[in-house]
Structure 1
Amino acid sequence: METADFEYIRDLCHQRAAIVLDLEKSYLIESRLQPLARTEGLGTIADLVAKMRTTGYGTLHGKVIEAMTTNETSFFRDLQPFEALKKVILPELIARRSLSRQLRIWCAACSTGQEPYTIAMLIEENFPQLAAWDVKILATDLSTQVLERARSGRFNQIEVNRGLPSPLVVKYFQRNGMQWELCERVRNKVEFRQLNLIDAWPAINTMDIVFIRNVLIYFDVQTKKDILGKVRNKLRCDGYLFLGGAESTFSLDDSFVRTEVEKASIYRLKGYDDPVLPTRAVKAASVRA
């Protein structure tokens, strides 16, 4: 791959999606963009870049950015966050929201939907009382292509095998040819929307729980700070933030304090004292992270 072409793709992805691509990632660009070049009727990545250079930002540029996003996900990924959600966090929030009977959960960078659907099934299985509440699960992603897949609720055998317990497959999925289709009742619990995390978030309401896992690692420091600052403004004062296992707010935003819940690291806004369940079985970390 020519250096000039690599730099064009790198700059495009950084400016439009804040994705950081180092020179050693050139192999990744080639593996992801060569199929796109063929689909577009172009012989090489050089031809693809040449076509983009001759036009203003448009559909083709968007397809390139989507191709360069990482869409790794699975059901019940890193099990501990979902154990924390089931055993501590949702029970606490149900107690606090007993008057409003309203819960708002947001999964950012949701990819093909396994994370929000995991939360929807977890609620269905463990909190039947929430059927009478106003519960909304919002799932967003940059890629319109993966959102289309997510809305369909269809997953192949490999995707179903990754983290999804067999009883839940039997209960909530139906075989449809070579794929498994999630039941409509669970699909309807999740609203999918397109959102670029580096843009403004005017349509995002205040949230009780925010999942933004395994995405900050792809951004530079300033972008991480900007995103965490926007999360802070969208999180209720007693809300919960979930990051990926390799991610942290440390040295990025000191408004958050890390708390350990069921062996999962959860982030809360600094200075909040729980007025409802002060003796809950959680251990606050001694340092911000």
Structure 2
Amino acid sequence: MKTLEPTTDIVDIMDVIEQLCGIQVDNRKLYLLEHRFGELMREASYSSYAELARCARDDRGLQQQIVERITTRETLFFRDGSPFQALQHKLLPEIIDARSTTRFPRRLRLWSAACSSGQEPYSLAIMIRELLPDVDRWDIQILASDISSTAIAQAKQGVYSEHEISRGLSPAQLHRYFRKEGSQWRVQDKLRSMIRFEERNFLQPFNTVGLFDIVFCRNLAIYFSDCNRRDLFSRIADQLVDDGLLFIGAQEYHADMSERFSMEQHCRATVYRPKKRIPQNRGLG
């Protein structure tokens, strides 16, 4: 495979990518540009990456094509199973107990922040339905968001191939929550009704999404610069309730989490809780 050199030509499109979606392409992964943009360059007859970058700055359609091609959508149901086990066997029961004396004892809010083609939010919905026998009496909403409009469209549709459906689901879960349609499987409405899908750029403010008990933001910030990563986690902390939970990817570390979180270990999973803010002393008078 040909390795690209970080010339000025390449740097131009790298800058555009980071400005559009926060993804930082380092020198070790420059081959991704050739692999993912080669066809686009040929179809539109761009003479260089600099020309592609220049055209993209004023063309929203081209910007979306760039985002679609650079984002990664590799996922599976119940990916890295320990977070789901920690939630099901310890953390979610604790949250339910804590909510029992509040004004909204049967309300839960979850956010699958980088949901890709939908396997993660559907996995969360399955876990909740298997934990709560009276789940239909609860007010449960799962926000599933992604920057990729293609990924969101597939997630909304909830239709998966035999290969996709075989990754992470037990036979019992498959037949309980999906129905066969030819060579594919479709999510049942009892799962889909728990989830709201939304296209969202993670560089933009989160002040319209509400507060959450649980946020999954896995394998997204690993592609961000240090500055964008710290900013992302700080903004997520603002969207968590005081005893909320954040799960990040296995390759993302506490050092990247800013000073807003404390780390805990449960059922072989690492989870982060927002630290309570200390009110600032505004002085007298």
For the aligned pair, the TM-score class normalised by the smaller chain equals: 0.7 to 0.9
In structure 2, the partner of 1:234 is 239
Aligned mates of 1:47, 1:251 — CA distance in 2: 35
Match of 1:245 among 250, 255, 261: 250
Confirm whether residue 103 of structure 1 aligns to residue 91 of structure 2. Answer: no
CA deviations 1:143-179 (Å, max 9, x no partner) are 1110000000011111111111111111111222332
Equivalent pairs, count: 269
CA distance in 2, matches of 1:222, 1:47: 29
Q: Distance in 2 between matches of 1:160 and 1:251?
A: 33
Q: How does 1:31-46 map to 2 (within 5 A)?
A: 31-37=35-41, 41-43=43-45, 46=47
Q: Give 1:133 deviation, angstroms.
A: 1.4
How far, CA to CA, are the matches of 1:184 and 1:90 in structure 2? Answer: 23
Q: Which amino acid aligns with 1:209?
A: I
Q: Give yes or no for contact 2:41–2:52 (8 Å, CA) kept in 1.
A: no
The alignment partner of 1:250 has SS state of helix
Q: Percent identity?
A: 36
| Contact kept in structure 2, 1:105 and 1:207, CA below 8 Å | yes
- 1:46-98: CA deviation from partner (whole Å, max 9, x where unpaired): 46863653461311122112210111211010111000110111111111122
Q: Aligned equivalents of 1:168 and 1:157: distance in 2?
A: 14
Deviations 1:210-234 (A, max 9, x none): 1001111101111111011101111
In 2: Cα distance, 1:251 partner to 1:214 partner: 13
1:27 aligned to which of 31, 35, 44: 31
Give the equivalent residue in structure 2 for 1:141.
146
Q: Which runs of 5+ in 1 are unaligned?
A: 273-289
Pairwise CA distance, 1:24: 2.9
1:63 aligns with 2:65: yes
- 1:159-198 equivalences under 5 Å are 159-198=164-203
The DSSP-based 3-state class of the residue aligned with 1:128 is coil
- Kept after mapping to 1: 8 A contact 2:14/2:24: yes
SS at match of 1:214: coil
CA contact (8 A) 1:260 1:266 kept: yes
Taking the TM superposition and a 5 Å limit, the aligned residue runs for 1:200-211 are 200-211=205-216
3-state SS in 2 of match to 1:86: helix
In the alignment, the residues of structure 2 paired with residue 52 and residue 22 of structure 1 have an alpha-carbon distance, to the nearest angstrom, of 17
Residue 272 (structure 2) aligns with? 267
Aligned-pair CA distance for 1:42: 2.8
2:87 corresponding residue in structure 1? 85
TM-score normalised by the chain length of structure 2: 0.88
Q: Read off the aligned partner of 1:244 and give its amino acid letter.
A: G
The residue number in structure 1 matching 2:161 is 156
Distance 1:18 1:158 in 2: 30
Alpha-carbon contact 1:105-1:136 (below 8 Å) kept: yes
Contact 2:178 2:185 in 1 (8 A): yes
Q: Structure 2 CA distance, aligned partners of 1:262 and 1:209?
A: 17
Q: Deviations over 1:188-240 (max 9, x none)?
A: 21101011111111211011001001111101111111011101111111111
1:4 Cα offset (Å):
4.2
Aligned residue number for residue 16 of structure 1 = 20
* Structure 1 counterpart SS, 2:231: helix
Structure 2 CA distance, aligned partners of 1:160 and 1:49? Answer: 41
Asked if 1:255 corresponds to 2:260, the answer is yes
**Bigger shift: 129-138 or 209-218?**
129-138
Instruction: Report the alpha carbon displacement of residue 126 of structure 1 after superposing the two structures with TM.
Output: 2.0
Judge conservation of contact 1:42–1:48 (CA < 8 Å) in 2: no
